[in-house]
Amino acid sequence: MSDLSPDKADVRMVPKRLKVGQSGGRGADCFSMPQVCLCYPGKIPSSTVNSPLDDVRSENRLNRADNVLLPSQRCLFLKFLSKTSSVKFLPAINDRVVRLGVLVSGGGTTLLNLLDCIQQGTLPAEVPLVISSQADCKGVDRAKAAGLNCEVIQRRDFDSLAEFSAAVFSEMRSHHVDLVTMAGYLSLLTIPDDFLFRVLNIHPSLIPAFCGKGMYGHHVHEAVVERGVKLSGCTVHFADNQYDHGPIVLQRSIAIPDGATADEVGSLVFEQEKLAYPEAIRRVTSGRLAIDGSRTLYR
């Protein structure tokens, strides 16, 4: 095939019997799947009819691409899809390690978990900057003990949320951070445009349950036990300008044993957090994660 760029592709609805590379009677060169086919000027099958891509749901389109297309063809289809619909794929970072900025407010156990994953080689990343919202929290001590650059930026030192947020993200920019990870960070931030979908948060419940202002750490697990739910877990999501809001990247769940205390639930959930956060970072930087409105798609 020649000049098969996404910009030059057209979209057609094709019979399910049409196979990849089948001529359709006019020597067509196309990438076909059930219903959706990418065709090119001058090489369109006679059996096709016009149909807008937006009429097919995004997730269904991706599933069809997974089932039918070869890897090289799928790559082209995903690029085309991101140009012609509301689905936006986040850029891949695969030619170097990911530079993580870590935000802490407490004990720093999530920071330690990320550092362990980096050391074990399961997370291709480095941490050029840690910012704490508290001067005397254990997370600061742990960051310094690990030899990391740690800054303290406290909300009370600024007249407005905008000024506070600007100070935090100015440090992130100066350290060339790719992805900001909230690790038990309790201060609300205003996310600037250049960090949209570049700030992750992990919450110790299955959002939208047990979340929002005032719901953090042990408070979450106490509420879970009091309500008597049978499942809990953790959620990694993109942070926006609301508490525990933004598109969800992934969730991991646990079954709550009968009679479990809040401390026991917290320990079980944290074991899932240790798996979920590194996996979420790998997904976000893989080039395979897309934003589709208020949700994410990963293929």
- Give the side-chain half-sphere CA count within 13 A for 137: 25
Two tokens at 254?
């646990």
Which residues are CB-neighbours of 33 under 8 A, at least 6 positions away? 64, 65, 67, 68, 69
Let me know if 219 is a catalytic residue.
Answer: no
- Please, are residues 92 and 83 in contact by the beta-carbon 8 Å criterion? no
Cβ neighbours of 54 (radius 10 Å): 12
Quick one: DSSP state of residue 239?
A: -
Inter-helix orientation angle 217-227/262-284, to 10°:
120
For 166-202, b where at least 16 C-beta lie within 10 A, e where not — what string?
A: ebbbebbeeeebbbbbbbbbbbebbbbeebebbbbbb
Indicate the burial class of 109 (C-beta count within 10 angstroms; 0-12, 13-18, 19 or more).
middle
**In 3D, which of 210, 200, 201, 202 has the Cα closest to residue 256?**
210
Element (H, E) at 249: strand 248-255
User: Out of 175, 176, 203, 219, which one is annotated catalytic?
Assistant: 203
Active site residues: 203
